[in-house]
Chains A and B, each alone.
Chain A
């Protein structure tokens, strides 16, 4: 049974469904804070980058890496691991931060982001980075590969789950819907898509570029177990991922978690800036961003 839209951030002190304890929320909120901090540091090295996306998606990445994904940090190719497929290659900055948080990539290595000969190129590639399952970047590929992985794992008797991170812009691509149909047809119950709906694409707001709404109804009509949550509300994310995990099965409906997020989340300076796909940040602003991030996090944590 799909749960309906939870559009707004949960008010302080809200209790979530059973199992979403304050301890889990605190743990993942702290991880999300560190991911944002890493992303700002990486962005500063390059003087630019997809920092806005990393900040927006940090809570999703923290939830999946910190709470859901089964992996061994010291053995990224462990056969029984769950797979996390980053379809949006340009979100690599956030993904690298999550990999560092997970202990798969050393934190010190993050400062090489986007530099020559780094294992952390601007667009994520499996051939460069441990823990990076696919080479994303050409949008609309991730879910098709995820379908094959889920089929292959099931055929080989594995109960590993496959998570595909995609963006709302990728819903423009026909291949995403080919894969959505295929996943339902083959009843890939261990497949979970997580869609970052930041309502922003390269040329502007999603609803001015190519209207994808109504997104919830689209996925439901494709036969997916569909939830839509505030993707910057850790408690809501944990609840949605718990729901998806509870109904995951070798044979069953694939699940999708539609996450409404805010570009630049956690840094008011960037949240309020005119939204841009590729955000420009002045040299002196990086420290301001970090301070705002920390102030916001500590303020919330102590509330």
Chain B
């Protein structure tokens, strides 16, 4: 028999899982609405070979913007991801440039064979647009694509892009359309933070960019973790720790030259990714370091090799070490 106390403690507001796609923008942060959808429309105005497809997730991947602008160039394939990507390959075989969207989990896990053999082997210009990459939903393992890059990195010919913000996405889309061969874009959708405009940055496919210099630590980051890396660098400055940030939005082919030049110093090297510690940015950097014969330690900030909890995104980002405070604490601990 339990007794209940009547002295209620003022509880912290309980964070909820909320929508399937919770925004990871901070309150008050500058954002851009549906940057992918608008960028695709703009690219399609200049290139009439661009077409769009989705597997019953147009509204959830910002593809609906394109569908509204170009209804005759948009093909709804239904909740059938094998058909989605097989058909995308077929469209590319006729000389068109398809962008096909679904969630990353379905593209990587369910439709891999179709992407691999129908798009990548013939090196067709099929552009995969994957929503909810890494930990960007609280819905649990069915929707959290924590190992999408690990799955896709082994696919020959495939270019993998992990954009940080709306600037990256807007500039990446026309470059993905212009590049030969298949690509995979880790989509950020809805109200996407605008961050990199303040760093004199432009996206170049296949290139890493040094966003800021720093004498004590070098962050190598991709995706939304570049935003966190920049925030952590600011916070660490208050601790008199000077942090450089190198953004590597193209995971494959990887700009090892730029990254290794930054790593091959006396600074603490940290990789930051919204992905499992297995098979993503950390291992990409690690293999480049080993291949170059650099005896250099690299510290990963990444999701653990496990199925993650369901819950509210801020809770989960804190739990699994992607939150800015956790990054700061980890760096300070490393520096002793």
Contacts and interface: CB of A to CB of B under 8 A. Distances in A.
A146 B87 CA distance: 7
A211 interface: no
Interface in A46-71: none
A152 B83 contact: no
Contacts of B86: 141, 143-145, 147-148, 175, 179
Contact of B90 (A127, A149, A181): A149
B122 interface: yes
29 contacts: A126-B122, A134-B118, A140-B82, A141-B114, A141-B117, A144-B85, A144-B87, A144-B114, A145-B90, A145-B118, A147-B83, A147-B86, A147-B87, A148-B89, A148-B98, A149-B91, A149-B94, A150-B90, A152-B91, A152-B92, A152-B95, A155-B51, A155-B72, A156-B95, A156-B96, A175-B82, A178-B82, A179-B86, A186-B75
A185 interface: yes
Most-contacted residue by chain B among A137, A140, A178, A181 (CB, 10 A): A178
Contacts of A145: 86-87, 89-90, 93, 118
Interface in A124-173: 125-127, 133-135, 137-138, 140-141, 143-153, 155-156, 158
A19 to B, nearest CB: 31
B89 A138 contact: no
Most-contacted residue by chain A among B80, B90, B92 (CB, 10 A): B90
Contact of B73 (A137, A144, A155): A155
Contacts of A125: 121
Interface size range on A against B: 20 to 34
A135 B120 CA distance: 11
Contacts of A137: 117
B93 A135 contact: no
B94 A156 contact: yes
A231 B98 CA distance: 36
B140 interface: no
Given A138-B113, A151-B75, A186-B75, A144 B95 contact: no
B78 A141 contact: no
B94 A152 contact: yes
A140 B117 CA distance: 12
Interface string B134-176: 0000000000000000000000000000000000000000000
B129 interface: no
Given A133-B93, A155-B72, A156-B95, 16 more contacts: A127-B121, A134-B122, A141-B117, A144-B83, A145-B86, A148-B86, A148-B88, A149-B93, A152-B91, A152-B95, A152-B96, A153-B94, A156-B96, A175-B82, A178-B78, A179-B86
Contacts, number: 101
Q: Is the interface of B mostly helix, strand, loop or mixed?
A: helix
Contacts of A174: 82
A182 interface: yes
B82 A182 contact: no
Nearest to A180: B83
Interface of B: 51, 72-73, 75, 77-78, 80, 82-83, 85-96, 98, 113-114, 117-118, 121-122
B91 to A, nearest CB: 4
B97 to A, nearest CB: 10
Contacts of B82: 140, 144, 174-175, 178
CB-based closest 3 A-B pairs: A148-B90, A144-B86, A148-B87
A125 to B, nearest CB: 8
A30 B85 CA distance: 39
Interface of A: 125-127, 133-135, 137-138, 140-141, 143-153, 155-156, 158, 174-175, 178-179, 181-182, 185-186
B122 A127 contact: yes
A78 B98 CA distance: 22
Contacts of A186: 75
B206 to A, nearest CB: 24
A131 to B, nearest CB: 14
Contacts of B113: 138, 141
A265 B96 CA distance: 41
A254 B73 CA distance: 21
Nearest to B88: A148
Contacts of B96: 152, 155-156
A217 B141 CA distance: 38
Nearest to A149: B90
A174 B95 CA distance: 27
A141 B88 CA distance: 12
Contact of B87 (A135, A153, A158, A182): A182
A150 B90 CA distance: 8
B117 A148 contact: no
Contacts of A182: 77-78, 80, 83, 87
A140 B85 CA distance: 13
A78 to B, nearest CB: 13
A144 B90 contact: yes
A72 to B, nearest CB: 17
Given A127-B121, A155-B51, A185-B78, A148 B91 contact: yes
A149 B86 CA distance: 10
Contacts of B98: 148
A179 B95 CA distance: 21
A135 to B, nearest CB: 5
A241 B99 CA distance: 34
A152 B122 contact: no
A153 B96 CA distance: 9
